[in-house]
Amino acid sequence: MTFPDRVRVVEVGPRDGLQNEQSPLSIEQKIRLIDNLSGTGLSYIEAGSFVSPKWVPQMAGSAEIFAGITQELGITYAALTPNMKGLEAALEADVKEVAVFAAASESFSQRNINCSIAESLVRFIPVIETAQRHGVRVRGYVSCVLGCPYDGKIAPETVADIAGELQGMGCYEISLGDTIGVGTASATRMLIDEVGRQVPREALAGHFHDTYGQALTNVYASLLEGVSVFDSSVAGLGGCPYAKGATGNLATEDLLYLLQGLGIDTGVDLRKVVQVGRSISTQLGRSNGSRVSNAVASSEG
């Protein structure tokens, strides 16, 4: 059984996590969170989202956040930019990497971004082309890859086609998102096998929610398929407002514990991430979604 020697952990807590938390944080608190994460050894942090505050009020102030954080060398600070207006704002804020997102479900696409999958992909063409002209790298997300709250099961071939189109447009990496956390190990391996026929596995990432407690199992299955990049959220922050019952992202602490146990290098200090997770959970007035952090707390008395 062979695993990658090193795994890159993509910390999405400040964006995908906080945008789905009910208790808003101040700009200063968000900046402090990102700066604290920067001190853990993480090499990639999603720091904000340039979307309308009318639709996602938790992401208001992303420009101020990028201006206020201490951007350390060797760390990518990325932002979500769903359209040209968002990209223009990100470029104005001197963001060096952005992300676009599509859904593998027609119903989810309509309810999430008010257009079909095909229309969403067409909208991304000028966004990606403009970003590349400015030397900004683009990462692609595909949501609902293992199931949709409206359409049910999703064909792996559909996900593969969308992922292939995003890569063809210029996305250097495609993150496959189990948005509602219904995936299982066998379904995950089948998905990666199919998508891997159109997109090289070294250009794929896994993004698993833990609704049914299968996120780590799906990470393990992905490792067996040669995937070496995983999205996670400190303290398991976040969820999905369009998917009833969907819990938060896989906790970064839990992902790190698994990878360390497998002898896989991440360059991230688990102890420091645990401290950050405890702090942000207290500020939000929520329970910590990391089983590892909670276990450490219990052992400490």
Active site residue ranges: 240
At a CB cut-off of 8 Å and minimum separation 6, what does 191 contact?
145, 146, 156, 159, 176, 183
Q: Which two tokens stand for residue 101?
A: 């997102």
CB 239 within 8 A of CB 248: yes
Nearest to 138 by CA among 146, 148, 129: 129
Query: Given phi > 0 = left and psi -120 to 50 = alpha, else beta, which region is 213?
Result: left
Q: What is the CA radius of gyration of the chain?
A: 18
Q: Which two tokens stand for residue 208?
A: 């698993």
Measured distance CA(60)–CA(51) in Å, rounded: 8
Side-chain-facing half-sphere of 249: CA atoms under 13 Å? 30
CB 45 within 8 A of CB 77: yes
Measured distance CA(173)–CA(167) in Å, rounded: 7
Side-chain-facing half-sphere of 175: CA atoms under 13 Å? 26
CB 218 within 8 A of CB 208: yes
